Structure 1
Amino acid sequence: MYRRPTGQMVIEDFVLPFEGKLDANNRWVKLAKIIPWEQIENEYADLFPSNTGTVAKPLRMALGALIIKERCGYTDRETVEQITENPYLQYFIGLEKYQIEPPFDPSLMVHFRKRLDQKIIKKINELICQSEKHKDPKDKDPKDKDPGNPSGSGNFEVWKPEVNKGKLLLDATCAPADIRYPTDLSLLNEAREKTEKMIDTLYNQELGLARKPRTYRKRARKDYLKFARQRKPHVKAIRKAIGKQLGYLRRNLGTIDFLLKRDGHGNLSARQSRELETIRILYAQQREMYQTRTHRIDDRIVSISQPHVRPIVRGKARAETEFGAKVAISMVDGYAFIDHLSWDSFNESLGLKQAVEDYKKRYGHYPEAVLADQLYRTRENLSFCRKHGIRLSGPPLGRPPLDSRREKQFAHQDMRERNAVEGGFGVCKRRYGLARIMARLKETAESVIALQFLVMNLEHRLRLLFCHFICAILKTYKDQNYTVYAVI
């Protein structure tokens, strides 16, 4: 059940237990004015079609708590404690007056992330970025009076060809998950230990067995530690250790299947059941790579607790391979939009056409230029951009001309402007946690990634509001014929 609030409150209506009022210039108060709470309300209310049951938390409380967490880098428990102690944070999440009790339990943060999934967060991001969009009145079709118009309206529209404006920045990055660096041997050892616990859970003395099935756990642990203590093991030693762990794991899986077929066995928990299916896939993949002497396989499992995580080969100097979700974004005037998010690796150059069409849908016209790296300069993308009068950054295909000074100047300028999207990735990773996604579930991790770009856009919007304020002050001084000296 979901009960709509009677109306969105303003700062003057917030009641404090002591005399005084909240500061209207506080950052959280300004941030609350930027977010279109009422426009998002319908999307959130549709998640609760039933009119029965416990009343759900309002949208402002759910989204506001998630924004506070990602903006400040708190944990779920710390977020609730900060909200309980700070009246500005309580106003930000929509409380009408200050209260000493926590507004909700920290466990509800997981449900907030599930309800506000990636699609809803992307819609919210669009609404926030569209409110900053300014249209130039010169671009509108002029309407002049026509005295000879037989329709009697007196107006006619002068057709004006569409002009490309603005620049679209494209790039992709990886959002690494919070997992241990996966090696084949460590994964097999973890799977073996989990299967041993499953055997302990399934075994029951009432099964009618003479003794408990053997697992050889002490010997398997000894073999693993013997290899793990080697500083630089040889290739043959690695292969031999993997073969031993595969044998132990095969025996454990056979024992589990044997116990599951007998009546009266113990019951595995829901988490153990999910991990058992993941371990079966992991064993099949590791066995195939061991037999074929390869190190590549499709949909490779790199984490038993997070089986959706995949290796993403980036070829960077710091880490050639990262483990997480790959995100392709487009950036316009400092605002970032997620074009595609996937846990499997993909070619981001295939999304150039869709990114350009989304740009036209947002702003009503195609961009003047698309700034991207060399990977996007395929013949198909070049043909598409040439068809719509869009300049794609980078040198043209084929032999360079004799006098390529103009092309070099364009390429250098494009490279300087494209640093904005690289800097956006750096800020999002260092400041908002994109460098390590702590959420463990697939849907909640996707929600966290979308929220981090949303918070980065909100911070950019706050900086623009400050710039508009400074420009208004400078304009006032200029109108009063004062000499203004500004250091920027």
Structure 2
Amino acid sequence: MVLEQWLESPYYQYFCGETFFQHDFPCHPTSLVKWRKRLGEEGCEWLLTQTIQAGLKLKVIKSASLKRVIVDTTVQEKNITFPTDAKLYNKARQQLTQVAKDLAITLRQTYDKACHELMPKIGRYGHAKQYKRMRKAIKQVKGFLGRVLRDLDRQVKRQGLTLTQKQEDTLNQAYRLLKQTRQSKNKLYSLHEPNVDCISKGKAHKRYEFGVKASIAVTAKESFIVGARSYPGNPYDGHTLKDQLQQVETLTGKKPETCFVDRGYKGSGVEDIKVLVTGQKRGVPKKEKRWMGRRNSVEPIIGHLKSDGKLRRCFLKGILGDAMNVILSACGQNLRKLLKWLYCAPYFGVFLRRLWLKIIFPTENSKNSMALLA
């Protein structure tokens, strides 16, 4: 996708140093994927460290600002379709049919035609609030999956065939789908991304989000990102705070003294760093009370990460892809802030210089205005 954009955009090519318009890819499309995997999570953290060091050198942030940080969590959604039982059953059945075809196994029946007719009906029944018919149709699709799975498993054992790891995972996922119920824990929401979690953040417009929990740490003064991590398994926010603060110390080289969090972090268990929760009254000095008003400044940063960066939806595969996408999104946000600072700093310096000259050497108009004010 990136190379396709590069191929059709002359601006991208000029930015990369090309003199003439190119009609071929500059590298193989898989090179970026291989480079990213070779980089790993530690390499992404090193990149984030470099953006922090650049911010300190350019004086975008001060070293004293690293003493106070704000931590909050959000959801990084995965690139999956909204999970429903019918879609999962039908997709698993199609994958089992493909496994049988790869193994040259002739199934008694694949139920392709029956599912092709039932799947649209399920959506129409739900739209018409005919839930009894809808549940009956879903039960039929589930039965088709069970029949295909048992038939395939039977013939594999009878013929003594050896399955690959991918084929075994397909069969195990089908068994897992058949066993899970509405009250089951650790449900399977996607066949190609089995580690996706269902997370509810209490949003009115989006009750459930399917992805991974991401933690973001920013400085309290400049809102510069100094830490970003992903937490698979949907842990409690308070249990992620200690790990997040440890990452901040590792990346910045300085241990934070005060951390501002919302009420979801109650009972975090962090003792060596002062944790101030929103709404806390007792034991809060006046100076820290003023800083507690900055707690909400992390929210627009998360919004920028999702709208301007790639945190809204993760297209990278697996748990490693989730972790890398969060950190790389944080790197991008810091780089955008640094570029904006470099762009605005010269103009800001000229403005201050002119203002200072007007104060030192006032003109006649300014003298008259000052006389009127006197």
Q: Specify the TM-score bucket, using the shorter chain as the normaliser.
A: 0.7 to 0.9
> What's the counterpart of residue 323 of structure 1?
210
| In 1, Cα distance between equivalents of 2:65 and 2:321 | 38
Matched residues, percent identical?
Answer: 21
> What's the counterpart of residue 372 of structure 1?
261
Shift in alpha-carbon separation, 1:165–1:109, aligned structure 2, 3 A: closer
SS in 2 for 1:370: strand
TM-score by length of 2: 0.79
Instruction: Give the conservation status (yes or no) of the 8 Å contact 1:176–1:325.
Output: yes
Instruction: Give the conservation status (yes or no) of the 8 Å contact 2:69–2:258.
Output: yes
> What's the counterpart of residue 243 of structure 1?
139
SS in 2 for 1:109: helix
1:357 is displaced (CA, Å) by: 4.5
1:109-141 residue CA offsets vs partner (Å, 9 max, x unmatched) = 2222222222211111112212322699xx99x
SS in 2 for 1:228: helix
Instruction: Give the conservation status (yes or no) of the 8 Å contact 1:169–1:372.
Output: yes
| In 1, Cα distance between equivalents of 2:361 and 2:275 | 43
> What's the counterpart of residue 280 of structure 1?
172
1:84 is displaced (CA, Å) by: 6.8
Aligned pairs for 1:188-207 within 5 A: 188-203=89-104
Instruction: Give the conservation status (yes or no) of the 8 Å contact 1:110–1:444.
Output: no
For CA contacts below 8 A with separation 6 or more, give which structure has more relative contact order. Answer: 2
SS in 1 for 2:69: strand
Shift in alpha-carbon separation, 1:391–1:309, aligned structure 2, 3 A: closer
Shift in alpha-carbon separation, 1:79–1:335, aligned structure 2, 3 A: farther
Instruction: Give the conservation status (yes or no) of the 8 Å contact 1:164–1:365.
Output: no
1:428-459 residue CA offsets vs partner (Å, 9 max, x unmatched) = 11122321223345434443332222111100
| In 1, Cα distance between equivalents of 2:58 and 2:21 | 43
SS in 2 for 1:132: helix
1:410 is displaced (CA, Å) by: 6.5
Residue ranges of structure 1 left out of the alignment (5+ in a row): 1-74, 141-162, 205-210
1:368 is displaced (CA, Å) by: 5.2
> What's the counterpart of residue 472 of structure 1?
349
1:213 is displaced (CA, Å) by: 1.9
> What's the counterpart of residue 8 of structure 1?
none
1:378-405 residue CA offsets vs partner (Å, 9 max, x unmatched) = 2734x544xxxx36142337xx89xx9x
> What's the counterpart of residue 341 of structure 1?
230
| In 2, Cα distance between equivalents of 1:367 and 1:338 | 12
Instruction: Pick one of 109, 113, 116 that aligns with 2:39.
Output: 116
* Matched letter for residue 392 of structure 1: L
Aligned pairs for 1:31-430 within 5 A: 75-81=1-7, 86=12, 88-91=14-17, 100=22, 102-133=25-56, 166-203=67-104, 213-230=108-125, 231-233=127-129, 236-261=132-157, 263=159, 274=166, 277-289=169-181, 294-298=182-186, 300-332=187-219, 333-360=222-249, 366-367=255-256, 369-378=258-267, 380-381=269-270, 383-385=271-273, 390=274, 392-396=276-280, 414-415=292-293, 417-430=294-307
Shift in alpha-carbon separation, 1:98–1:336, aligned structure 2, 3 A: farther
| In 2, Cα distance between equivalents of 1:305 and 1:118 | 21
Shift in alpha-carbon separation, 1:482–1:324, aligned structure 2, 3 A: farther
| In 1, Cα distance between equivalents of 2:98 and 2:251 | 54
| In 1, Cα distance between equivalents of 2:91 and 2:268 | 47
TM-score by length of 1: 0.62
- Where is the helix percentage greater, Structure 1 or Structure 2? 2
Aligned residues: 356
The structure with the larger Rg is 1
> What's the counterpart of residue 372 of structure 2?
none
Instruction: Give the conservation status (yes or no) of the 8 Å contact 2:213–2:234.
Output: yes
| In 1, Cα distance between equivalents of 2:176 and 2:157 | 21
| In 2, Cα distance between equivalents of 1:177 and 1:303 | 10
Residue ranges of structure 2 left out of the alignment (5+ in a row): 367-374
